[in-house]
Structure 1
Amino acid sequence: MIGVILYGAGLGMFGLLMRSNWSALEREVETLAGTLHDSLKPLLPAEARPSAQLAAVLPGLCLAGDPCPSPPSLISRHAVSVTDPERFYLRLLDPRGVLIAHSPGSPSQSPRAQAEHLGPAWSVVVGPGGERSMQYSIHLHRSHTPVHSGAKARELDWGYLQIGRSLRGLDAERQRLWWAIQTIVVLALLVAGLASWWLSGLAMRPLLVAYRQQEQFTADAAHELRAPLANLLGVVEAHRRQPPDDAVARDQMLAAVHRQGQRLSRLISDLLLLARLDGPQSAAAVQPCSLTQIARDLLEETSEAAAEAGLTLKLLDVEEEAEIMGVESELYRLVSNLLLNAIQYTPRGGEVVLRLGRERSQVVLQVQDTGIGIAPSDQQRIFDRFYRSDPGRSRRQGGTGLGLSIVAAIVHRHRGQISVASNHGFGSVFTVKLPMVGGRILEDLRVAGNT
């Protein structure tokens, strides 16, 4: 398509330039023809026929039927054609169109000359060597002096004047311009092809990254689903080999099946939530939400889990007007996942602190723990799906490896930012910044939901 557009534009420009040059030549020939007509009108003999009087009108003008060598002197040559003889020629014809005089070198005198008529007055004459000339024809009048002094002067039709203009320069310019356009178009196509290849590589790069992430996610999801299913099948197979009256084995089997079923249920729920977060958001679900109330409610709900883990759970620096536009259920999940993640990776006797503040037009939520921390090499990947910095610990506690991925998706969905600061062995601090209530944020979320 770029090639077609460039070639079409080049041809259009070529045609406009050629038309402009042709029009300039036509005006030049018409002006010269009018000047010659006015100059010859009082000098023409009474009859339009080859005669010595006609030959004297312009020195060097050749009569029809006589030899016509080129004038030897420069003055004679210019007298014949009025201007450059290499570019112009003259022809005089009688009223019937029969040639009676011409300038030397007129291509129309060659037996192999061909004329292509472009209109009543214009034609293109092609000489024997292929050289083209533009030819213009006008009626030639003679001034008539009246016999009586009181009569009005009249102009009588005498014949025709034809003036030709060589197209050698125009044809050479046409060739140069044609090849210049071809070269420019080819170079432009080459540059466009290289630029397109480079830009397509840039455009494909995020798609390839997304495709690899999707492949990795599919493989990880299959692995995570296969593990509990394998455990379930193993437990069921082991129970089939037990005596039917062994109540203890039956209870152990049912407990194992229940645990694996819960793990599968949580994993499927998290996968469905991620799929929903990746899709468009409903504008009807967006409403003002108090992050302060959400934090307090979740602090009460997770206090029991913190107590079982032997941890201290605190809420500090509470901002009472921490209200944002969003989906309340998703914001609950965001804060809950951060708190449970901190509890999960903090050893007994540790502390988890939840802070809620304000920074300009943003609500700042911080969850700080005194847990095992995150290695610098893992801090860039902890928000990837199914990634665990400590896989064994997470699986033992029933984690799916999707908690922080869900947190990142919810933060991104609410036009926020999330970051982590951690030192291995000295705990971590997760910081979430969300825009406060404002018409612009609400409108952005509604537009995102509609699209």
Structure 2
Amino acid sequence: MAWPGPIPSSRLRLAAAYLAVIGVILYGAGYGLFGLLMRANWTALESEVETLAGTLHDSLKPLLPPDARPSPQLARVLPGLCLVGQPCASPPSLLPRHAVSITDPERFYVRLLDRRGALIAHSPGSPGASPTATIDRSGSAWTVVTGHGGERFLQYAIHLHRSHTPVHRGAEPTELDWGYLQIGRSLHGLEAERERLWWATQTIVGLALLVAGLASWWLSGLAMRPLLAAYRQQERFTADAAHELRAPVANLLAVVEAHRTQAPADQPATRDTLAVVHRQGQRLNRLITDLLLLARLDGPEAAAPTQPCSLVQIVRDLIEETGETAAAAGVRLQLVGGEQDIHVQGTESELYRLVSNLLLNAIQYSPEGGEVVLRLGDERGLAVLEVQDSGIGIAAADQQRVFDRFFRSDPGRSRREGGTGLGLSIAAAIVRRHRGHISVVSRPGAGSVFSVRLPLAGCS
């Protein structure tokens, strides 16, 4: 389906708005799900470390030596640990190695500290394994520690107690504060999982956005159908009204022309009246012709053949044809550039009308003694035509409306000149039809410059 006029850009903006809203929702949902999954993994990791710390604490409590210091008795309790100040020795058998499998450096590490927080034993390769290592008693039990090579560990610290057998029979056993136990769990797996979840979330959201983009384009098309129907109805009304008006206007002009040729020479009032009627009929006829042209230009692209057209030749022909009109208005025409031929792909009659409207508009609004300059050139695959006048200029508030139908920056002057108020609208429609761009730069009292950019032939 062909979408005329400004409707394609409106549909694109509507689809973009749909996609933006859906994109915000999808990204919000994706990031929320990602955060929930990562929080669940982190909670499971904390639970694992906390359970393991409690189990190890309960296992060590009855076996700990009385003093929290590096000693052979402590080495026998946990043979896989390295005592501070002594070399690390491998467990002599598989049984003790299994008993301290928690000290696997690829996943966990264990550190024992005395009540002052000084390190007394640690698993091989644990981060911060030095006699000066201390525990922050005022901080949280959970910390993240960076080990060798930048690997991060989730560390959990608890008080370590030892069982004390009472001296008197029947007394309850007591627990003595022995020191601290720190267990660290490698975050390498969690970070790898985080990266996998991140890219999975990005991929899913990206695919969902692609589907949402297609759906947005389809939905915007459905939403634009009533507007398209109204637009078509307006086009039909314009065309039908123009056709209905053309016949009576033609008859009116024919009758007036006949009366003018047959009117007696001694009836000047009758001749003046007929002249006014004839002039207004001609103006109405031009208006109808312009309305029909606009209806055709704003309609679906017709199968009118296009061909490379010489923009330089069109401009030169029009300067020659409008020279008499410019001279009568006291305006000088000047062509700048155009030494090399510039071809654009299009319909020659429409391009001719485009340049003619811009040129006549510049002449109409230029004062006597003024100058209209036409500049021709090309840049980055585009033909550039600029029409500069020395007229009254256009107020900044009116520059956005100058291409609207029936808009006149100086209504009185335009009507006196017989303009219909559709010249610049027709020029803008022709530029859109040729996939170009038209703009105006103006300052009140300093004239205006209308710029047209059209794709060069072979570059569109």
Q: TM-score with structure 1 length normalisation? A: 0.49
Normalised TM-score (structure 2): 0.48
Q: Decide which structure has the larger Cα Rg and report it.
A: 1
